[in-house]
Structure 1
């Protein structure tokens, strides 16, 4: 983990740290399983940010204003969250066209979230397809 991200996460409550680390691991796992190349990990707008070549940036964060959740952010001018809401309307809560809201108690595992991360990391090759090819 990049030291700046580790430092950022260390300021959060333990439950939030754990959940963010679970999402982070899933991002790296999805990228590796799909041979998407190196994941660029950095801070953008003060949030942990992840990107692979040909993908759309994924950001993750916890905010004291909403202490019971972490959020997985996607570029709001893509069709990502719109597509996720269409195919996974009951699995997640959403914040507008920019984020999935994950309770600190939610299990982060393969499945719907993994699929959403995959679509984001492959976005530029899928953006012309209906429902991003899902």
Structure 2
């Protein structure tokens, strides 16, 4: 069972809300669960501060503008179908997560964890990846 205990905020950015509305009905619920996971995880990490939800490359993106603690997280749909949680490809986030999670997930190189369209994302297992992305720049300080 997935452990999300908060409610994601309403959309403050109408372009992001429109991007979610444009996702197919097959993947939209799962992408909204991943959105919820980002906000829930950020609330558990006070050093992260405010999350800015915006669009990058036409996809919902999550940044830590006040603290600059994190690397951008994006949510979207790969060309091959399904949905994905993306991280910056020039970080070690996916490689580090793959080392922890192994073959429990499908990966798109060093940039994403990908899922089938009707697959339920295992939020509790993804939480360490999201937490690492939200605190990525704190490790080098």
User: What TM-score, normalized by structure 2, do the two folds share?
Assistant: 0.82
Q: Which runs of 4+ in 1 moved over 6 A?
A: none
**Which of these residues, 58, 62, 69, is aligned with residue 54 of structure 1?**
69
Structure 2 partner of 1:43 = 55
- Paired with 2:93 and 2:57, the residues of 1 have a C-alpha distance of 20
- Paired with 1:110 and 1:19, the residues of 2 have a C-alpha distance of 10
Alignment RMSD (CA, Å): 1.6
SS in 1 for 2:103: coil
Contact preservation (8 Å) 1:56, 1:123: yes
Structure 2 partner of 1:79 = 92
- Count of residues in correspondence between the two structures: 126
Extract unaligned runs of 5+ from structure 1: 129-134
- Paired with 1:91 and 1:126, the residues of 2 have a C-alpha distance of 25
Extract unaligned runs of 5+ from structure 2: 1-10
Report matched runs for 1:1-134 at 5 Å.
1=11, 2-35=13-46, 36-52=48-64, 53-63=68-78, 65-67=79-81, 69-127=82-140
- Paired with 1:51 and 1:75, the residues of 2 have a C-alpha distance of 12
